[in-house]
């Protein structure tokens, strides 16, 4: 009788041990293993409220970032200049990044190619040029836009945060 009780306890202990090993292996592989070739949290394109940012890729051969952007701010943008602002870029006293919105590396979409509500566009955002595969870039996407046709009155806003590995 005692032997049967001991065998039953060993059997239960063995099953619990196997379950624990499987769970530990699952969490380790999903976080660090070959099923996830990028560091935890990459890639990501996190849009701020009212904006869309998805399908971001980072090309190592030219350093360009390709991303789908959209907006639902209830206003049509008649012109839109998108820029990638690398992490660590200094800002002016108004909080705007000290980077050109109207010349290289800006990606400009004019008039009919502006960004209307619920429209999604592919945008190439230059980064630094060729990089090694796996190189990580972190930064934000900003836009300079107008809400009236042929207007010189521009607005600026940050629309997304990016963390990407070059591939």
Residues 81/105, Cβ–Cβ less than 8 Å: no
Residues 101 and 23 in one domain: no
Residues 59 and 23 in one domain: no
Residue 96 C-alpha from the chain's centroid: 20
Could you give the number of structural domains in the chain? 2
Q: Is pLDDT of 8 > 80?
A: no
The rounded distance, in Å, linking the Cα atoms of 111 and 17 is: 65
> Of 6-10, 19-23, 53-57, which gets the smallest average pLDDT?
6-10
- What confidence score (pLDDT) does residue 136 get? 83
Question: Which of the pair, 44 or 157, is modelled with greater confidence?
Answer: 157
Residues 88 and 134 in one domain: yes
> For the whole model, what pTM was predicted?
0.67
Q: Among 150, 152, 145, which Cα is nearest to 109's?
A: 145
Q: Is pLDDT of 88 > 60?
A: yes
Domain that holds residue 22: 1-36
List the end-to-end C-alpha distance of the chain, in Å, as a whole number: 64
Residues 67 and 125 in one domain: yes
Q: Among 67, 100, 63, which Cα is nearest to 81's?
A: 100
Q: What is the CATH number of the domain that holds 160?
A: 2.60.40
């Amino acid at each position: 009788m005692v032997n049967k009780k001991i065998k039953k306890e060993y059997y239960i202990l063995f099953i619990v041990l196997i379950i624990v090993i499987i769970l530990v292996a699952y969490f380790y592989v999903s976080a660090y293993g070959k099923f996830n070739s990028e560091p935890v949290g990459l890639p990501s394109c996190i849009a701020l409220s009212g904006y869309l940012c998805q399908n971001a890729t980072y090309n190592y051969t030219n350093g360009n970032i390709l991303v789908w952007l959209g907006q639902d701010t209830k206003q049509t943008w008649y012109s839109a200049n998108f820029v990638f602002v690398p992490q660590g870029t200094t800002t002016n006293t108004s909080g705007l990044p000290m980077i050109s919105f109207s010349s290289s590396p800006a990606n400009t979409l004019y008039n009919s190619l502006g960004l209307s509500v619920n429209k999604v566009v592919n945008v190439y955002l230059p980064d630094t040029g060729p990089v090694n595969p796996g190189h990580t870039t972190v930064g934000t996407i900003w836009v300079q836009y107008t809400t009236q046709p042929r207007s010189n009155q521009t607005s600026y806003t940050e629309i997304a945060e990016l963390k990407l590995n070059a591939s």
